[in-house]
A = this chain, B = another copy of it.
Amino acid sequence: MTNGDAGPHERSYRKGPERRAQILLSAMELFAERGVGASLRAIGEAIGVSHAALRYYFANRDELLVEVYRTHEARVHKAQAHEGSAGSEVSAVAMMENSAERNRSIPGLVELYATLTTDALQEQQHPATREFVQARYRRVRADLAERVRAGQRSGAIAADVDPDDAAALVVAASDGLQLQWLLDPDAVDVRRSLEVLERLLPGAR
């Protein structure tokens, strides 16, 4: 808690996180418009932040990319909590449908996500990205596996489906479909394809 009379030290302490959040927002807009390809220096130029300032907040391009994605996820979680749209009765597939629907409206986001995932495969060049992506997948799979278990308890999903196998399948389907849709929007419909999967893995009854 701070009061209105915060001294200069406190003000600069408060300014840091705000400036950082502002940079993340500008970077997110840049990625949405022009893609993720640029270097940290080019990102700085495009969003009007000096390379030194950018480096003050983010050690390197990987860290900026991860933080932009993390910011997006935090917003989504906040919106879900507000809408009450993440209850355990929502099926694993419906969760991914909703997430894909949100990503659709943020053009650079699927590209950012694909870049993070591909970078993560290169352990030596991108160790922090790998750690973030691994942890994210584990978290998402654990959440979806819980939804599959809820479906099984209610009798909607066959008891002999392994919840962890099914969870990995649902995340994979959602990731892969969003990629195919970006490459060929007229040929691929993410929601319709996920609805095929939902026949097998419906929500709790």
Expressed in whole angstroms, the Cα–Cα distance for A162 and B196 within the complex equals 8
Q: Mark A111-130, 1 if CB is under 8 A from B, else 0.
A: 10011011011101100001
Q: For window 178-201 of chain A, which residues contact chain B by CB distance below 8 Å?
A: 179-180, 182-184, 187-189, 192-197, 199-200
Q: Which residue of B lies closest to A117 (CB)?
A: B179
Interface presence of A56 (CB below 8 A)? no
Beyond the given pairs A36-B122, A137-B180, A172-B193, 8 more chain A to chain B contacts, judged by CB atoms under 8 angstroms and listed by A's residue number, are A118-B118, A121-B182, A134-B184, A137-B184, A166-B193, A168-B189, A173-B173, A175-B179
Q: Complex formed: what's the CA distance from A103 to B142 in Å?
A: 26
A115 to B119: give the CA distance in the assembly, Å: 9
Verify if A176 is at the interface (C-beta below 8 Å from B): yes
Query: Which of B169, B184, B199 is A193 in contact with, Cβ under 8 Å?
Result: B169
A141 within 8 Å of B (CB atoms): yes
**Are B171 and A180 closer than 8 Å at their CB atoms?**
yes
Interface flag for A177 (CB, 8 Å): yes
Residues of B within 8 A of A171 (CB): 176, 180
A189: contacting residue among B120, B138, B165, B177, CB under 8 A: B165
Which B residues are in CB contact (< 8 Å) with A36? 122
- Contact check, B176 vs A193: say whether CB atoms are below 8 A apart: no
Q: Are B111 and A183 closer than 8 Å at their CB atoms?
A: no
Instruction: List residues of chain B with CB within 8 A of the CB of A169.
Output: 173, 177, 193-194, 196-197
A36 to chain B, nearest CB (A): 8
Sampled A-B contacts (5; CB under 8 Å): A36-B122, A117-B118, A161-B196, A168-B180, A168-B187
A168 and B172 contact, CB distance less than 8 A:
no
Residue contact A165 to B193, C-beta cutoff 8 Å: yes
Give the CA-CA distance A134 to B180 in the complex, in Å: 8
Interface residues of A in 127-184 (CB under 8 A from B): 130, 133-134, 137-138, 141, 158, 161-162, 164-166, 168-169, 171-177, 179-180, 182-184
